[in-house]
Amino acid sequence: MRTRRLALPLVALAAIALLFAAPADAKLSSKEWKEAETRFEELFSQKGNAKAKAEVLATIASDGSGRAFRLMADGLFKEVELFNRLMIKITKASAERSILVGKGIKGFTAVDEARAKELDAELKELEAALKEEREALNAVTKAVCEGPEILRKNILQRAKGGGDWTFRAAAIRVAVMTMKEKASKQFLMRTLSNDKDPRVRLAGLDALGSVPEGYEDLVIGRLADPYWGVVLRAVAIAKDREMHDAVPHLINALPKAGPRVAEAVGAALRKLTGENFEAYADVWSKWWEEHKKDFTGDVKVKKGKREEFARVDFYGVPIKSDRILFIIDISSSMKLKTKNDNPKERWKPPPTTTGGKAPPPPPPPEEILSGPKIDVAKHELKKAVKQLPKHYMFNIICFNQGAVPWQKTMVKASAKNKESAYQWIRTRKPSGSTYIDGALRMGFTMAGLINYDKRYPDISVDTIVLLSDGAPTDSSFPVSKLMDPEVILEHVRQWNKDKKIVIHCIGVDMVTSIEFLQKLAAENGGTYVDR
């Protein structure tokens, strides 16, 4: 049987030819476009390659046609997706590693230790890849911002439709970098105010923090954000950039602020006004009435009630937070008696401020330092927990070559929970080595900052208090190896890149690694004390 050849009308043939022909405004030849397109598909199926991706996007942009701009928009989508996949892998590996860290508190089995080493190698590779992927995402974002306005309109229109929060976060960064354009400014204003995921709003603020000027009103608007983390970031930008117009808005933020945010707002107000008041709403609102004539604009400052937060001390360190995670060293060396025979020489009371009640004096130094280090730590921890008001959230992690949490999540400081914590603290016995990295990873996982998914993880910790008496080691058992402190610091920089969590460090009879704990505290807005 003969096969009949179908004859297409000339009109259909012409339509097919047009489909595969270059647009009339295209600058690249068909061969050049095909080469660029092939290179694009190859590169954007792989992680990293920031320089090569920037180069191929520059070539595509030179075509100057609609097909080029659609492909560049697809490039940003693809890069965000690559970033997402990488972060999801890190989340899963971190969760499994934290489970193994918990098993290691009494010493690993051979199987557990082998798996722990595999995960450590995997996480090291993933975190190195993440660093490269951030560079690639930044390069692609920059290329998009250097393209024509129609390209950004396409991207922002796609982001308006919702979808994954990570693409909206990428889009808001594009909008910040091009906010002189009407569409970008509108998208930025609407997204900062209305996006339901605070991670997107934080991405916008982070981008605004690197813009020289012309954005102050957008930052000031976030001082009334419903999420404490966004407010904290806005306060930091207002303080660092010395936004004096933010003063009345900062005062209005005080009545709703928890202790951590109130502390940040107070510091910002002191820098911007030159006054030295505590972060009390009534004091600052009264001050405003006397000084508002010195400011431009007509902002109404409400009379706030004084909120005096509970004083919580640990080893004499004041902790201004209602979401506290204590991370306590229970390694073998904690059995030893403290060598500090003259605690008065080491004790320095914190500076006081004016405009309200002076903070109460710290506990007597004799109560802070005496006896075996583990007994002192238990005593001081119990005193700190006892000070917590019932609506505060807290938890405890103890660590040696492994780490174990008292509770799986943060809990309220009810009388029942406090009593449970006292009983648990009492049973902790020192043994093993000093795996600080694993304890911190567990802490940041508990906080929600290592989680990366479509559902926003509530950041349930805003302050970590770390106590240790020795140099950091790895989790090897029974013989641990010293761990490079810079590796731990770099991990924390990744986990705490938005500086949501303050880390206070207490060194007990430290001989080595003092600089490490000092740096860990300084890089994360905390205080280091030597006891």
Q: For CA atoms 442, 443, 444, 447, give the dihedral sign.
A: positive
Write out 446-501 in H/E/C secondary structure: HHCCCCCCCCCCCCCCCEEEEEECCCCECCCCCCCCECCHHHHHHHHHHHCCCCCC
| Residue 408 to residues 197, 339, 392, 442, Cα–Cα distance (Å) | 25, 34, 16, 10
119-167 confidence digits (pLDDT tens):
999 999 998 999 999 999 999 999 999 999 999 998 999 898 777 888 9
Choices 3.40.50.1820, 3.40.50.410, 3.40.50.300, 3.30.70.360: CATH for 313-352+362-530: 3.40.50.410
Residue 24 pLDDT more than 80? no
| 531/520 Cα distance (integer angstroms) | 17
369-390 confidence digits (pLDDT tens):
567 899 999 999 999 999 999 9
| 127/441 Cα distance (integer angstroms) | 13
Structure tokens at 228: 């404490």
pLDDT for position 16: 32
Mean pLDDT on 90-109: 87
| 421/452 Cα distance (integer angstroms) | 30
Mean pLDDT on 39-49: 95
Q: Which long-range contacts (CB under 8 A, 24 or more apart) does 480-486 make?
A: 480/401, 480/432, 480/433, 480/434, 480/435, 483/435, 483/436, 483/437, 485/513, 485/515, 485/516, 485/519
Contact 460, 409 (CB under 8 A): yes
Contact 314, 253 (CB under 8 A): no
Q: Where would I find the H helices in 321-364? A: 343-346
Residue 354 pLDDT class (50, 70, 90 cuts): low
Between the two ends of the chain, the Cα-to-Cα distance in Å is 97
Closest CA to 428 of 402, 390, 461, 389: 402
Contact 228, 321 (CB under 8 A): no
Residue 170 pLDDT more than 50? yes
Structure tokens at 166: 């990570």
Neighbouring CB atoms inside 10 A of 416's CB total 11
CA atoms within 13 A on the CB side of 105: 19
511 Cβ partners below 8 Å, 6+ apart?
none
CA atoms within 13 A on the CB side of 69: 17
Mean pLDDT on 336-365: 56
| Residue 194 to residues 132, 197, 225, 229, 265, Cα–Cα distance (Å) | 31, 9, 10, 16, 23
Q: Which amino acid is at 510?
A: M
| 52/79 Cα distance (integer angstroms) | 13
Residue ranges per domain, the chain?
219-309, 313-352+362-530
pLDDT for position 345: 43
